[in-house]
């Protein structure tokens, strides 16, 4: 059994692919990943769609078809046609995983418009519209975990819509998302039919914290490089276990509700000095998801070594946080800025994608 399959079979961690592109789905690549590597889901985001649509000619034929049907179509309209087509096709490939796994995996994630990250009512409206339009029970709508996103997450869970709460960087983000999920379940008529993940971003935390540690420059500070992100995730996993394996969740389980699994995102190693599979290797644990970019997926298949690392990491996470604080690292400030920058980056990628589509439209 390869290392990717062992994550699920031996450790209860689902591997999702953090990538989507027309040729991957239509050419059978996604189906092979499901069959051979045990991939159990797909995530997308505006940056992924920008690279796929603006960076290839795979979508040009459909762009022309949309414009023939709707000559006055805007770039937003064309984008949505392209994205929905890919999401539906990927969802159909993953439907057997969804059906066989009691609706706990087999999901494909699609994000609401990035400019709605601070608009509660707009997010709710857009999510409901996309849910209806895609028309697949194994769709997950991605909602940013901003302050305004919390009420949207609650309302959409109450509607019975699967939610991927994304762009989480801090323990405060995690706590707010978990509580929003519980409030949504409380209001949901059929909680057994809804699923959710809490997407906790990892590598970007180390990128930001390492820069501050290097500015401090002492041996003790430098020894903490590459540890903040994993410790942060381990503390979130500890809190997950407290919330979803404590007595308060039992009444939800009695109604058939699933736990809201932590999902580790941004798991490619940004620092070339770190092992390329660092954020896969150190974040293995039951009832978690790791959404992995294609190159990192290939690397882990080649030389991954699965073990229950989250349990090990929880033992040292507090001391790492104490060390950061002792060196003047304000992790709350770091993670708040990371979320702000992440929202802005996805909005920028979406704007670039729309500009590229507008150019394609203009020459037809």
Catalytic residues: 142
- Dist. CA 82–CA 66, nearest whole Å: 9
DSSP annotation of 274 = S
Contact (Cβ atoms closer than 8 angstroms) between residue 206 and residue 229: yes
The total number of residues written for the chain in this structure: 364
N-to-C CA span, the chain = 50
As a dihedral over the C-alpha atoms of residue 154, residue 160, residue 162, residue 168, rounded to 10 degrees, the angle is: 10
Contact (Cβ atoms closer than 8 angstroms) between residue 147 and residue 117: no
The residue whose two tokens read 């901003």 is: 146
Bridging pattern class, strands 107-111 and 41-42: parallel
Q: Strands, DSSP E only, in the chain?
A: 13-17, 41-42, 107-111, 139-144, 163-168, 196-201, 261-265, 288-292
- Dist. CA 18–CA 47, nearest whole Å: 11
Q: DSSP secondary structure string, 307-340?
A: --HHHHHHHHHHHHHHHHHHTT--HHHHHHHHHH
Task: Compute φ and ψ for 91, nearest 5 degrees.
Answer: -60, -35
Residue 165's closest CA among 140, 194, 198?
198
**Strand partners of residue 42:** 17, 108
Q: DSSP secondary structure string, 176-206?
A: HHHHHHHHHHHH-S-GGG--EEEEEE-HHHH
Contact (Cβ atoms closer than 8 angstroms) between residue 223 and residue 207: no
DSSP annotation of 165 = E
């Amino acid at each position: 059994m390869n290392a990717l399959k062992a994550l699920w079979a031996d450790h209860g961690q689902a591997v999702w692919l953090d990538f989507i592109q027309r040729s991957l789905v239509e050419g059978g690549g996604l189906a092979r990943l499901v069959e051979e590597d045990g991939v159990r889901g797909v995530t997308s985001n505006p940056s992924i769609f920008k690279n796929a649509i603006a960076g290839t000619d795979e979508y040009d034929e459909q762009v022309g078809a949309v414009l023939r049907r709707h000559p006055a179509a805007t770039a937003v309209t064309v984008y949505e046609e392209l994205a929905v087509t890919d999401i539906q096709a990927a969802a159909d490939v993953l439907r057997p995983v969804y059906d066989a796994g009691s609706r706990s995996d087999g999901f494909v994630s699609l994000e609401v418009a990035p400019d709605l990250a601070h608009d509660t009512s707009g997010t709710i409206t857009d999510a409901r519209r996309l849910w209806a339009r895609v028309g697949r029970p194994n769709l997950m709508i991605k909602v940013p975990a901003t302050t305004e996103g919390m009420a949207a997450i609650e309302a959409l869970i109450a509607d019975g819509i699967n939610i991927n709460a994304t762009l989480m960087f801090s323990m405060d983000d995690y706590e707010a998302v978990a509580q929003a999920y519980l409030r949504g379940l409380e209001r949901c008529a059929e909680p057994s039919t809804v699923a959710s993940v809490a997407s906790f971003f990892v590598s970007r935390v180390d990128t930001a914290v390492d820069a501050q540690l290097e500015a401090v420059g002492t041996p003790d500070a430098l020894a903490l490089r590459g540890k903040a992100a994993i410790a942060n995730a381990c503390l979130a996993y500890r809190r997950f276990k407290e919330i979803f394996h404590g007595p308060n969740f039992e009444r939800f389980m009695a109604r058939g509700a699933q736990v809201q699994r932590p999902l580790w995102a941004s798991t490619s190693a940004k620092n070339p000095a770190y092992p390329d599979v660092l954020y896969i290797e150190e974040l293995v644990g039951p009832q978690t998801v790791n959404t992995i970019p294609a190159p990192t997926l290939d690397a882990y298949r080649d030389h991954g070594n699965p073990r229950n690392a989250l349990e090990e990491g929880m033992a040292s996470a507090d001391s790492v946080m104490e060390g950061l604080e002792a060196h003047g690292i304000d992790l709350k400030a770091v993670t708040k800025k990371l979320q702000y920058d992440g929202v802005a980056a996805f909005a920028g990628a979406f704007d670039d994608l729309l500009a590229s589509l507008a150019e394609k439209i203009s020459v037809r």
